[in-house]
Amino acid sequence: MAGKMAVAETPLVKKNHQISVAVNQKIAQLLIENQAMKHIAHRLSISTSSVMRKLNEFKFETDWNTLPEVMSWDEYAFKKEKMSFIAQDFDFLNVISILDGWNSSNHPKPLSTLS
């Protein structure tokens, strides 16, 4: 049996995974409750990268047919030399859209420069 490896499977942990199903469910719950990723990682004794992987599993769809009367938006550092953009409903603080990982070379030019 040289070169072979056994992989255990249980209802508690998916095959080829290291984080239990229960912890993954708790990560999702805390993300939905708008907890900070560092806080979630510390609370559950996992890496921030594990929390980010779970966040990346979420699918967000924006309804562009209606927009709030008052919107706010901001940009913030996402990764080294990359920025993220967030738009939200100002009155209810609902997130409308997040654009991750853009920089000056890959985001659209302002309308004022397109003439």
pLDDT tens digits along 19-37: 888 999 999 999 888 888 8
Half-sphere exposure (CA, 13 Å, Cβ side) for 51? 21
Residues 11 and 33 in one domain: yes
Averaged over 29-56, what is the pLDDT? 90
Residues 44 and 85 in one domain: no
Cβ contact 89:71 at 8 Å: yes
Residues 25 and 46 in one domain: yes
Please tell me which residue, 64 or 11, carries the higher pLDDT value: 11
pLDDT recorded at residue 93 = 81
Residues 54 and 4 in one domain: yes
Give the amino acid at 65. Answer: N
And the tokens for 101?
Answer: 């990982």
Mean pLDDT check: name the lowest of 21-25, 40-44, 63-67, 71-75.
63-67
Residues 19 and 39 in one domain: yes
Question: What is the domain extent for residue 7?
Answer: 1-59
Residue after which a domain boundary falls, among 42, 59, 76: 59
Q: What is the pTM of this model?
A: 0.52
- Average pLDDT over the chain, rounded to whole? 80
Residues 38 and 72 in one domain: no
Q: What gap in Å lies between CA 79 and CA 98, rounded to an integer?
A: 14
pLDDT recorded at residue 115 = 46
Quick one: which of 42, 59, 51 has its CA closest to 24?
A: 51
Residues 77 and 112 in one domain: yes
Neighbours of 27 (CB within 10 A): 24
Quick one: which of 54, 101, 91, 47 has its CA closest to 71?
A: 91
Q: What gap in Å lies between CA 55 and CA 78, rounded to an integer?
A: 14
pLDDT recorded at residue 114 = 47
% of the chain exceeding 70 in pLDDT: 81
pLDDT recorded at residue 95 = 81
Residues 69 and 113 in one domain: yes
Give the contacts of 91 (CB within 8 A, at least 6 positions apart).
68, 69, 70
Residues 47 and 73 in one domain: no
- Quote the number of domains for the chain: 2
Residues 71 and 54 in one domain: no
pLDDT recorded at residue 111 = 46
**What DSSP state is assigned to residue 92?**
T
